[in-house]
């Protein structure tokens, strides 16, 4: 009887211990305090890590591989810093007007360099010589033939030698000018090669829209950046990193260095003109027409221009800003905008300039409704892959 009592006591104590353990387990927190530093225990019946998993429909999910590459996030714009400011800064005396500087801007294209040599080494010396000669003749006539020195005026009405000289010399001067001038004109309208990057510039009142027809339909709208005191709090305004006043844009156009560029211009409303002085480019953008020229940028940097055709009340407020970057960075920028790079030997699919073509502008981007896009706002549109800052006529820079 005593043995039975001892056994019963042991069983009772064991049962109480199990009960206490069960209560403690039930009261334990579901997640340990250091869950962020501990690995979760595998569930009963769950497949071990790295093994295939069978689904109820009979399909098998491939095993997850440790360190497998995950889908990449959207490529970052290589022309911008992390805070959205432009990475490439304007340089003094390059690609923009400079104070107290006389002469042409530094030319960074072959055509521009040829034109600068023509201007500096031929036109200016000859014109200077003509001006000095005419000035000297005027001074000589005033002194020699004044009334006090020449009381009896000459009655000579013809001088054969003088008449031959003043006819033949101008003809010879024009002949000297004609050869380099015609050569430069021919180079300006030389067709672009097959591997050229095509940029289509579309003029609007009063902003520019750009398309890259050979790069997957990338489209960018560029508007002038206003000054800090001309925008509402929180909106973007011009800084020195963006460029000079009246020339900085919210979105710069990116072009590669050392690669031929095919420029096609047109317009949606009135005649505009796309002009970059450092490129020696000035090409009219005419509604219903496609004008074309080509150039090659030889030096990286930031280059500014403006519309050079009177196009309305806000003609002075549609600038152009170009980032000239290495080809690899241009390709990265195109991919960041959702575009693609064609093969090097693939001919351009862009339509060439066709005189009297009324349908030539069918591929252009329609102008935004009203007088322009929303002021300094980002607009999402397909296939436009970059935000646009607009300048409507009513919120204007007309008082700048």
**One pLDDT digit (tens) per residue for the chain, 400 residues:** 444 444 454 445 455 554 444 444 444 444 333 333 333 333 333 444 444 444 444 444 444 444 333 434 457 888 898 888 898 899 988 999 988 888 899 999 999 999 999 999 999 999 999 999 999 999 999 998 888 888 888 777 888 888 999 899 999 999 999 999 999 999 988 888 888 999 999 999 999 999 999 998 899 999 999 999 999 998 899 999 999 999 999 999 999 999 999 999 999 999 999 999 999 999 999 999 999 999 999 999 999 999 999 999 999 999 999 999 999 999 999 999 988 888 644 555 666 555 444 444 444 444 444 444 434 433 433 443 444 444 444 444 434 4
Do residues 318 and 209 touch, judged by C-beta distance below 8 A? no
Structural domain contains residue 57: no
User: Against a cut of 0.75, is the pTM above it?
Assistant: no
* Residue 218 falls inside a structural domain: yes
From first CA to last CA, the distance across the chain in angstroms is 112
List b or e across 153-173, with b for residues whose CB sees 16 or more CB atoms inside 10 angstroms.
eeeeeeeeeeeeeeeeeeeee
Any domain includes 42? no
| 150 CB-near residues (< 8 Å, 6+ apart) | 144
State the residue range of the domain holding 312: 88-95+104-150+165-392
Instruction: Report how far residue 125's alpha carbon sits from residue 25's, in angstroms, rounded to the nearest whole number.
Output: 101
Q: Residue 45 domain-assigned? A: no
Query: Cα–Cα distance between 173 and 196 in angstroms, integer?
Result: 38
Assess contact for 226 and 247: CB atoms under 8 A.
no
Q: Is residue 21 part of a domain?
A: no
The domain total for the chain is 1
Q: Let me know if residue 55 belongs to a domain.
A: no
Q: Please indicate, yes or no, if residue 340 is contained in any of the structural domains.
A: yes
> Is residue 81 one of the residues assigned to a domain?
no
**CATH code, domain carrying 327:** 2.60.40.420
Distant-in-sequence, close-in-space partners of 93: CB < 8 Å, separation ≥ 6: 101, 106
DSSP states along 213-255: TTTTSEEEEE-BPPPGGGS-TTS----TTT-STTT-BSS-EEE
């Amino acid at each position: 009887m005593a043995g039975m009592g001892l056994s019963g006591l042991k069983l009772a104590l064991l049962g109480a211990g199990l009960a206490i353990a069960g209560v403690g387990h039930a009261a334990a927190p579901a997640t340990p305090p250091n869950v962020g530093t501990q690995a979760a225990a595998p569930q009963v019946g769950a497949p071990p890590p790295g093994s295939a998993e069978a689904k109820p429909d009979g399909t098998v999910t491939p095993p997850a591989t440790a360190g497998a590459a995950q889908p990449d996030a959207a490529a970052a714009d290589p022309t911008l810093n992390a805070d959205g400011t432009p990475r490439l800064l304007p340089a003094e005396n390059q690609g923009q007007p400079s104070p107290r500087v006389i002469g042409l801007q530094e030319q960074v294209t072959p055509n521009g360099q040829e034109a600068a040599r023509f201007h500096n080494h031929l036109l200016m010396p000859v014109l200077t010589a003509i001006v000095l000669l005419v000035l000297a003749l005027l001074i000589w006539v005033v002194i020699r033939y004044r009334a006090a020195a020449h009381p009896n005026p000459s009655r000579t009405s013809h001088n054969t030698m003088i008449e031959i000289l003043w006819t033949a010399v101008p003809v010879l001067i024009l002949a000297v000018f004609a050869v380099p001038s015609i050569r430069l004109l021919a180079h300006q309208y030389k067709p672009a090669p097959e591997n050229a990057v095509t940029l289509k510039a579309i003029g609007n009142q009063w902003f520019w829209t750009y398309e890259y027809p050979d790069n997957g339909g990338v489209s960018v709208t560029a508007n002038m950046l206003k000054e800090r005191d001309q925008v509402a709090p929180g909106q973007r305004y011009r800084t020195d990193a963006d460029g000079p006043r009246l020339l900085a844009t919210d979105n710069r156009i990116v072009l590669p260095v050392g690669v031929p560029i095919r420029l096609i211009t047109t317009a949606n409303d009135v005649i505009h003109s796309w002009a970059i002085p450092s490129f020696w480019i000035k090409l009219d953008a005419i509604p219903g027409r496609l004008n074309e020229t080509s150039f090659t940028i030889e030096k990286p940097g930031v280059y500014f221009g403006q519309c050079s055709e009177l196009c309305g009340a806000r003609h002075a407020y549609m600038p152009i800003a170009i980032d000239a970057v290495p080809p690899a960075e241009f390709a990265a920028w195109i991919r960041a905008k959702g575009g693609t790079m064609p093969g090097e030997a693939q001919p351009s699919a862009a339509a060439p300039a066709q005189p009297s073509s009324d349908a030539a502008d069918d591929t252009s981007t329609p102008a935004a409704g009203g007088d322009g896009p929303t002021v300094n706002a980002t607009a999402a549109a397909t296939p436009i892959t970059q935000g646009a800052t607009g300048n409507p006529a009513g919120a204007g820079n007309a008082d700048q």
